[in-house]
Amino acid sequence: MPAQHSYADLLAANAWIRKASDAFYFQCTARTVQESKLFPVNPYIALSYLNAWYRYPELFRKIEAVMSAEELGDHARERTTSANIITNGIIEQFYLGGRQMLMDMGMLKATDAMDDVMYVLDFTQRLNLSYHRNHAHVLPTDAGLSAQLLPERQVQVFEADALGTKPGDKLHTSVAHFLAAVSQYAFLKNSECRLGIHNSGPYKVGGGEMLVREFVDLAESDLPWLDGVAENVELNNVTMPVFMKDTHFNIVDDWASFEAQPSYNHDNMYAVGLYTSDYLSDGYIPVHMDSAAELADYLDHLRDTIHDATQRLWKEVAGWSRDQMIDSGLLVYYNVPKDLAHIAGVYEQEDWYTVEDRVQRFKPLFNDEYGNHLIAELVGYISLRSQQGNESHMAKLSGARGDMWSTIPYSVLGDEEWTGSVGPIRGGSTSLPQKTALYTTTRGKLTQDQCNEAARALRIPTLEDGLRHLDDAWVKNHPDDPRAHELYRRTQARSLVLKDKGAGLLREDVLALRKEAGRDD
């Protein structure tokens, strides 16, 4: 029996597979080094792909029973969560990685789990199209390696409220010290990977360019190994718009990392802000931004708190077995979509912090040597037999015969044998301690059930009352429409400078209001 998918559906799915394949190849070969002296990174990456393969289809269907992928993208774009550029963009990569590995092992055919594969590809494409709608691309790769996520209304608030600073003053020094501490901590808590660090932009502003720097999952929340370790960290997510002169951010890529021309120089920072938000907030909440002195003092306090959590975490990790180190990295990679479940209010810790029974059976195979060679062949050399095309084929970026992810044969529309699904999740386990602490949110420390209940009840003001589809293109053509003013006022509700100013402000208006409020002092 032919598969119940149209030719058009398969064409779109295979185009998304190839786009993902090319984008991931560029990132893996040009933008990263996948190794650690502490964690068995490549074994845990490979196992995370398998966990994604067996679990994502059912978990995404569970989420979409409550909220569509398009709505999830809109919600994620309005605040900081771990559903961001890097995580939303690599969901399908990890899933396809599991598929490719099993195909190469001879355990799977390209026509297996057809319904699952088509659904995950459709879900992730819709999610990314919605999340990136302000620059109308699917991935930063498509936008020349830039990621302008935010609408004008939010950029204006960040620029108006930012506190002026210059090299040598207390705020400037505090920002530099804080960024150093939180970057180290974010890297360690995520098992020495970059998934806790996010950047978007650049955005053109009055004095140069703005890069929005974000750090997620810092406190006692989803990561069970932060229970006790991060008990004194009061903000789970931090958003820091950084304003730079004489600096052009020529790359903000699919993994939310950046490069600048000339190289990033902290001395070029002339203003900064600090916000928090999460899946229970209705937007960005300013943090200690009444004055430069107040913000500097708070950043010093937060730096000291994070430094303490880092020391505690090192002691925690020092006692882990190799299996626990594998599980931590495996779960950090696999659970990149977890905040989508939080946003929808259907989050369950067991869904995202256990290793599927079918994946556990592969663990004895993944020693360091096998894991390192497999990942190198899979996402670097593209040398697995299952990845090779015909002898005349030339891949987009390498010119080689192989592509990272295999497409779906169109023969399933005829008489080719196919299967529909990997079946239901078969339970799971982990060698790591179970979560015991409450979840740190913008509404305080809550239980899992309280988080889900609050998320389901949450309404985002800018997505309600017919405002959801009023983007920058609409505002440009309807500057005097009452709905435009209402949309901007809702974004400006917490602004210290632009509150109730509405739409129609030009940059010179924002800068004048900023100067009048003394934000440049």
Calculate Rg over the CA atoms of the chain. Answer: 23
pLDDT at 30: 82
Mean pLDDT of 465-474: 96
pLDDT at 29: 87
The helix (run of H) or strand (run of E) holding residue 372 is: helix 368-376
pLDDT at 34: 61
What SS3 class is residue 261?
strand
Cis peptide before 140 (omega within 30 of 0): no
**Would you say how long the chain is, in residues?**
521
Mean pLDDT of 355-375: 95
Indicate yes or no: pTM above 0.85.
yes
pLDDT at 14: 97
Question: For all residues of the chain together, what is the average pLDDT?
Answer: 95
pLDDT at 3: 82
How far apart CA 300 and CA 9 sit, in angstroms, is 53
Q: What is the pLDDT of residues 13-45, one digit of tens each?
A: 999 999 999 999 999 888 666 666 789 999 999
What SS3 class is residue 48?
helix
| C-beta separation of 182 from 229 below 8 A | no
What SS3 class is residue 114?
helix
Share of the chain above pLDDT 70, in %: 99
> Can you name the residues that pair with 215 across neighbouring β-strands?
197, 238
How far apart CA 109 and CA 99 sit, in angstroms, is 9
The gap from C-alpha 183 to its chain's centroid, in whole angstroms, comes to 16
Domain boundaries, the chain: 7-142+321-429, 459-521
The gap from C-alpha 39 to its chain's centroid, in whole angstroms, comes to 22
How far apart CA 216 and CA 441 sit, in angstroms, is 12
| C-beta separation of 468 from 74 below 8 A | yes
pLDDT at 165: 97
How far apart CA 198 and CA 272 sit, in angstroms, is 16
Tokens read off for 317 = 């990790």
How far apart CA 391 and CA 400 sit, in angstroms, is 9
3-state secondary structure labels for all residues of 76-108: HHCCCCCCCHHHHHHHHHHHHHHHHHHHHCCCC
CB count in 10 Å sphere of residue 11:
12
Whether 106 shows a pLDDT value over 80: the answer reads: yes
Residue appearing with tokens 């100013």: 501
pLDDT at 33: 60
Q: What is the pLDDT of residues 294-337, one digit of tens each?
A: 999 999 999 999 999 999 999 999 999 999 999 999 999 999 99
For Cα atoms 128, 398, 41, give the angle at the middle one, nearest 5 degrees: 65
Mean pLDDT of 175-189: 97
Whether 416 shows a pLDDT value over 70: the answer reads: yes
> Can you name the residues that pair with 200 across neighbouring β-strands?
212
What SS3 class is residue 19?
helix
Mean pLDDT of 100-128: 97
Mean pLDDT of 180-208: 95
pLDDT at 495: 98
Of 31-45, 46-60, 396-410, 418-432, the one with minimum mean pLDDT is 31-45
Query: If pLDDT is split at 50, 70 and 90, which confidence band does 397 have?
Result: confident
Whether 2 shows a pLDDT value over 90: the answer reads: no
Residue 155 to residues 334, 367, 388, 406, 423: CA-CA distances in angstroms?
32, 47, 45, 40, 44
Per-residue burial over 42-63, b = 16 or more CB atoms within 10 Å of its CB, e = otherwise: bbbbbbbbbbbbbbbbebbeeb
pLDDT at 392: 92
pLDDT at 37: 73
How far apart CA 135 and CA 491 sit, in angstroms, is 19
Q: What one-letter code names the amino acid at 213?
A: R
How far apart CA 145 and CA 254 sit, in angstroms, is 7
